[in-house]
């Protein structure tokens, strides 16, 4: 059983990742922190609270702490064209759950210091909150079991530029701070996430059953395929980070030191120096097993 904090910017694939974590018997969710990215911070927080209320109920005791509305420099560009209106495509009813009083960075530090188990942070958006937490709490590096990051494009083209993946491109300064912190990081980039997807041809019941997660997961995917005529496969990007936290051996990783370019055309490019370091770069995935895990966790609950 892992005790986790999930940092997220829902985001359609973030929503599927949250469903997996909420349904997993192997994960105890200490809290969820929100960040701008796919959507504005306001939309990503609305979606997080709405998803939690829909999936875990109005009485959910999982805290949601609000984080950064901008990267360490400049502003987020957002990706409504990828994720749909509101950042989720599907509009959830206005949540009655309220955010926690602490900021995301305060919450991460507080729970890491107070938790009996070492926390795993699963970062599904730009790394701004994680960098802020590491900056404000020097002890955090030693208090964390692992930071699992969805981000980067190491030996494959990026998805926002030929060189860069979205989460890293949105805040390359934060990514550098996290990768250089010395905390144990597993980075799940496009090299492996683009090998796991849900196909248009397999719908409209990608997830089986009548559970809240299966029904909403199917609605979210149907909305994306309806909105984007050319889209044939929906990549399981953030879900694969949750899969890796539940079943680390689904990935093959290589230890490296990773730096990120922050300027110019190659902004957000992740450069690995293999042969040792605190960052485990995912270089291969058991794609069938990862997809099965995503399907079963969202279907059965």
Give the binding site for ligand BDR (CB under 6 A): 11, 13-14, 38, 79, 82, 124-125, 150, 159, 165-167, 237-238
- # binding residues, Ca ion (CB under 5 A): 6
Q: Among residues 49, 68, 124, 236, which is the contact residue for Ca ion, using CB under 5 A?
A: 124
Q: By beta-carbon distance, which residue lies closest to ligand BDR?
A: 166
Peptide bond into 11 cis (omega under 30): yes
Interface positions, 213-242, toward Ca ion (CB under 5 A): 238
In whole angstroms, give the CA distance from residue 109 to residue 114.
9
Placement of tokens 């995503």 in the chain: 294
User: For Ca ion, which stretch binds (CB under 5 A), given 123-131, 136-144, 184-192, 219-227?
Assistant: 123-131
Q: Which is nearer to ligand BDR, 157 or 182 (CB)?
A: 157
Distances (CA, A) of 46 to 3, 8, 86, 162, 299: 24, 12, 9, 32, 24
- For the sheet with 279-285, list strands across it: 64-66, 27-34, 2-8, 119-123, 144-150, 185-188, 279-285, 251-260, 270-274
| Residue with the two structure tokens 């560009």 | 77
2, 4, 7, 11: which one binds Ca ion (CB under 5 A) = 11
DSSP-derived 3-state class of residue 232: coil
Q: Are 188 and 167 in contact (CB under 8 A)?
A: no
Q: Which CB sits closer to Ca ion, 151 or 277?
A: 151
Which of residues 7, 14, 170, 191 is near Ca ion by CB under 5 A?
14
x/- string (CB under 5 A) for Ca ion, residues 23-62?
----------------------------------------
Minimum CB separation of residue 96 from ligand BDR in Å reads: 25
Q: Cβ of residue 220: shortest distance to ligand BDR, in angstroms?
A: 12
Taking the least distance from each CB to ligand BDR, the nearer of 11 and 272 is: 11
What distance in Å separates the CA atoms of residue 189 and residue 237, rounded to the nearest whole number? Answer: 8
42: left (phi over 0), alpha (psi -120 to 50) or beta: alpha
Residues near Ca ion (CB under 5 A): 9, 11, 14, 124-125, 238
């Amino acid at each position: 059983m892992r005790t986790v904090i999930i940092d997220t910017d829902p985001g359609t694939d973030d929503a599927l990742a949250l469903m997996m974590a909420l349904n997993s018997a192997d994960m105890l969710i200490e809290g969820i922190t929100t960040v701008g990215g796919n959507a504005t911070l306001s939309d990503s927080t609305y979606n997080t609270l709405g998803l939690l209320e829909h999936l875990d109920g109005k009485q959910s005791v999982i805290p949601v702490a609000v984080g950064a509305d901008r990267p360490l420099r400049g502003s987020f560009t957002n990706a409504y064209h990828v994720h749909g209106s509101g950042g989720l495509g599907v509009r959830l009813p206005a949540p009655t759950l309220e955010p926690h009083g602490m900021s995301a960075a305060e919450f991460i530090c507080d729970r890491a210091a107070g938790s009996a188990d070492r926390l795993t942070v699963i970062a599904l958006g730009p790394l701004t909150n994680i960098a802020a937490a590491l900056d404000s709490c020097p002890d955090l590096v030693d208090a964390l079991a692992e930071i699992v990051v969805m981000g980067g494009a190491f030996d494959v083209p990026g998805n926002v530029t030929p060189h860069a993946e979205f989460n890293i491109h949105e805040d390359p300064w934060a990514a550098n701070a996290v990768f250089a912190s010395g905390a144990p990081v597993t980075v799940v980039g496009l090299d492996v996430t683009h090998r796991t997807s849900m196909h248009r041809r397999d719908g409209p019941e990608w997830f089986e059953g009548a559970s809240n997660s299966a029904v909403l997961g199917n609605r979210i995917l149907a909305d994306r395929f309806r909105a984007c005529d050319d889209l044939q496969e929906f990549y399981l990007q953030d879900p694969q980070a949750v899969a890796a936290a539940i079943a680390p051996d689904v990935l093959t990783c290589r230890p490296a030191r990773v730096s990120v370019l922050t300027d110019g055309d190659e902004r957000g490019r992740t450069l690995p120096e293999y042969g040792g370091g605190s960052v485990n770069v995912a270089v291969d995935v058991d794609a069938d097993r990862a997809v099965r895990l995503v399907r079963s966790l969202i279907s059965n609950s």
